[in-house]
Amino acid sequence: MKNIAVILSGCGVFDGAEIYESVLTLLRIEQQGAKYHCMAPNKLQMHVIDHRTGDAVEGESRNVLTEAARIARGEIIDLAQANPDDYDALIIPGGFGAAKNLSDFAVTGADCALDPELMRFTQAIHQQGKPVGMICIAPAMAPRLFGEGVACTIGSDEGAAGAINTMGGAHQTCSVSDIVVDEQRKLVTTPAYMLAGSITEAASGINKLVDKVLAMS
């Protein structure tokens, strides 16, 4: 049975992992006869957002790993303790946590830096020839992870696409129900809630991404 690593970035679209994208990913992995193991960096979030109002909550801090454990029902490990040798592939759901906690793309754009444990784990998976899937805004990190010329998509957002190209990536416009595959680097990306207007639309591309990642692993 294939074992898929899933890196989460907290819990909640505005300051962590996008919950629907994460759950759809986990569901599809199981439906296709594979298993998953969730992990997240053990550090504080960039900030906490009130998801009712969209406002930052002053004076409150939350831990990325602790929050991500909500999605994983407690079955989660510290990313720093994860061994790439144990997994056949990696998938990273989106949500602003990918651009705030796994990287600082939300603040610095094309000048972004990535979490060192994310870099270590993802690049080790890649160097072992294993596929990686990135969803929603997470592909904005692809040029930093996979180098110049990497093909990826965040859908059609001109600002994010421009930043990807500035970093040396090769952004491709993509519909919500489709995927972009960089066969050479074994990277699969899909827009999900960068374009989706419903959970059904998000699932259409995520299911294709999971299926392709499993097929390549």
Catalytic residues: 136
**Taking Cα atoms as reference points, which of 207, 217, 165, 199 lies closest to residue 31?**
207
